Chains A and B, each alone.
Chain A
Amino acid sequence: MSNMNTAMIEKYRNNFLKEVEANVEEGEWVKMCMQCGVCSGSCPLGPYWDHPPQEIFMMIRAGKREEVLSSSSMWMCTSCYNCIARCPRGLPITHIMHGLAHYADRLGLAPKEQPTRKFAKHFWDNLTKKGRVNELKLGLKLYFMNGFGEGIKTAMKMKDVGLGMWKSKRLSIGELWGGHSIKDTKGLHAILNKAREIEEAKAKKFEG
C-alpha cells in the first residue's frame, strides 16, 4: 500500500466523501447527484461498468472507499460527454470519472492490468517525452503491453490495419527513429514538473 494511501485513510477516517471533495478533480460535485440514473443509461459502455456512475456517486457517500477506488468502472469512460450533456443536475460526470481514475492510480489502488489504464499511462509518457504524440511507438507499446508473445499475436492480427495506414501515408516507419517533436522540450518538461510539484504540495497539505 502506498504511503499516500495510508495517509489518506488516516486523515479522512470514515469520510470518503470529504476525501473525494478535497482530492478528486471536480469532486465537490459528487453530493449533488440525485440518483436518477440518466448518466448510466446514456453511457456507450454502460453494460460493462461494475458500478455505473450514479452507483459510484452513492458508494462514495456510503464510504465504500476500497470498492470505488479499486474498481475498473471509471476506466470504461470513453469521454463521449453524453452524461454531462444529459445530467439534470449539471454534474461534470466525465471529469469526475477521469478524476477518480487518476486519484485511484496515484494511490496505487487502480487495477494494475486494466487495459485502458495501461494504455493511457503509455499515452501520457509518449506525448510528454517530445511534446507531441509518436503514433507508431504508441501503437507498438499498445500491442506489446501484455508481453512479447501476446504482442506478436496482436501485431499479426493488426497488420492489415497498419498496412492500410502505411499505404495511405498515414503511418511512417521513420517515427521509430526520432519522429515529430517540439523544439522546446526542455521548457515543456520544466512546466510539467512545476505543475506536478504544485499539485503534490497541495496533496501534502491534506496529508499534514
Chain B
Amino acid sequence: MAKKEYSFYPGCSSQKAASASNYQVSIDSMCDVLDIQLNEIPDWNCCSASIGYAGGGELPRLALSARNMALSEQAHPDQDIVATCAACWLATKETQERLHDDSALMEETNQALAEAGLKVKADKNIRHMVEVLIEDIGYDELGSKVQKPLEGIKIAGYVGCQTNRPFGIAGESFENPKYLDKLVETMGADPVENYDRKVSCCGGALAFSEPEKSQALIKEIIEAAYDGGADMIVTPCPVCQMNVEVYQNHINKTYNTKFNMPVVYYSTLMSVAYGKSAKEAGLDGQVIRAKKLEEIAGK
C-alpha cells in the first residue's frame, strides 16, 4: 500500500518532555508500522483548548486555529489536517466549520491573519487520528499487522468527551461509541462489556482548578473499570489519560480506595501488538506502569 501522508498538528502536550510526550512516542511507532507519514505543520501554535475563552474572545481564539490552518494550507496543500489530541482536533474543527459557515467571521479572521502575511481558506478536512485508522486504513488492515496479540488482557475503553462530542466519529453514537472496543479487540485483547463510564467526563481542565469535584468524577471512571474486571484503561485523549492516571494516589487517600489502574493510549496498545519495544511504545512514560503490556513487549 502506498504511503499515506497527512498535515500533522501535534499540539502542546505532545512536545518533548510534556505531559503527553509518551503519546507521541507511541504514535510515531504505530505510524511507522502502518506506513503513515505525519508532516508537522511548520511553526504551529496552541489552539487555546477548552478554557481559552476566559482570556480570549471568539475572534482571537478562532485566529489561533486559523493560523495553524493557514500554515498547513501553505506547506501541505493537498493533505488533510490530522490531530492526535482531542482538544486540538475539536478547536481546529470547530474553527473550520465556523469560518466556512460565516463569511463575516472569515473576513475578520483573514484581516487578523494578514498582520502576519497569512491567509486562510479553511477548506481542509480536520481529522482525529482515530478517524484515519478506522476510515483510511480499516480494522482488517489494522489487525493484519498484529505480531503479538494482547491475549488475556481486559481493557476498559474510556472514550471520554471531546473525541466523542459534539462531532464524534462517523457512524458512532454519542452515548455508546464502539470504536475503541473494536480497536481493543482487533489487537487481540478483551474489551470490558458495557463499561458504564465510557463517555463520562473526567473534569477536563477543571481537574486543575476544581480538584475535589473532578476527582469525584475520575473515581467513578476508575471504579467502573474495576467493576468490569479491567486490567487497564485505554483512551484517545491526552487530558483524559493524565487526569485518570496521575491523581489515583490522591483519590485513594480521599476515598480510602486502592486504585492502581494503568491508563494507556490506543497507540500504546497498537505499538505493543505490532511488536515494538516497551520504550518505542512509550511505556516508560507511564506513571502507573502497565506491567501486562511490558511483559508482552519484552517477549
Q: Of B113, B116, B208, B247, which contacts A119 at CB under 8 A?
A: B208
Answer yes or no: A156 CB below 8 A from chain B CBs: no
The distance in angstroms between the C-alpha atoms of A85 and B114, with both chains bound, is 35
Answer yes or no: A165 CB below 8 A from chain B CBs: yes
Looking at the assembled complex, report how far the CB atom of A180 sits from the nearest CB atom of chain B, in whole angstroms. 5
Q: Of B19, B46, B62, which contacts A131 at CB under 8 A?
A: B46
Interface string of A87-125 (1 = CB under 8 A from B): 000000010001101100110000000011111110111
Contact A102–B53 (Cβ < 8 Å): yes
Contact B59–A170 (Cβ < 8 Å): no
Q: Of B20, B59, B213, which contacts A198 at CB under 8 A?
A: B59
Contact B161–A133 (Cβ < 8 Å): no
Contact B111–A198 (Cβ < 8 Å): yes
Query: With A80-B161, A124-B56, A142-B209 in contact, do A187 and B204 touch (Cβ < 8 Å)?
Result: no
The distance in angstroms between the C-alpha atoms of A27 and B213, with both chains bound, is 28
Q: Of B12, B21, B43, B162, which contacts A184 at CB under 8 A?
A: B43
Answer yes or no: B265 CB below 8 A from chain A CBs: no
Contact A169–B17 (Cβ < 8 Å): yes
Interface set, chain B 104-144, CB cutoff 8 A to A: 108-109, 111-118
Answer yes or no: B229 CB below 8 A from chain A CBs: no
Q: Of A45, A164, A175, which contacts B206 at CB under 8 A?
A: A45
Contact B247–A161 (Cβ < 8 Å): yes
The distance in angstroms between the C-alpha atoms of A86 and B165, with both chains bound, is 10
Please report the total number of B residues contacting A with Cβ < 8 Å. Answer: 67
Answer yes or no: A55 CB below 8 A from chain B CBs: no
* CB nearest to A203 among chain B residues: B57
The distance in angstroms between the C-alpha atoms of A101 and B205, with both chains bound, is 15
Answer yes or no: A192 CB below 8 A from chain B CBs: yes
Greatest chain B CB density within 10 A among A80, A119, A169, A198 is at: A80
Looking at the assembled complex, report how far the CB atom of A157 sits from the nearest CB atom of chain B, in whole angstroms. 8
Contact A123–B51 (Cβ < 8 Å): yes
The distance in angstroms between the C-alpha atoms of A98 and B62, with both chains bound, is 14
Closest 7 CB pairs of A and B: A124-B55, A187-B116, A120-B54, A79-B50, A172-B17, A81-B165, A190-B115
- Give the interface of B toward A (CB within 8 A): 12-13, 15-22, 43-46, 48-60, 62-64, 67, 108-109, 111-118, 161-162, 164-166, 174, 200-201, 203-206, 208-210, 213-214, 217, 246-247, 249-250, 284-287
> Beyond A82-B165, A120-B55: 4 further Cβ-contacts under 8 Å?
A116-B210, A120-B51, A133-B46, A142-B208
The 26 sampled A-B contact pairs (Cβ below 8 Å) are A44-B217, A45-B210, A79-B204, A80-B161, A80-B165, A85-B165, A115-B209, A115-B210, A116-B54, A119-B208, A127-B48, A131-B46, A133-B13, A169-B284, A170-B20, A171-B18, A174-B17, A175-B17, A183-B43, A186-B116, A188-B45, A190-B115, A191-B116, A192-B56, A195-B112, A198-B111
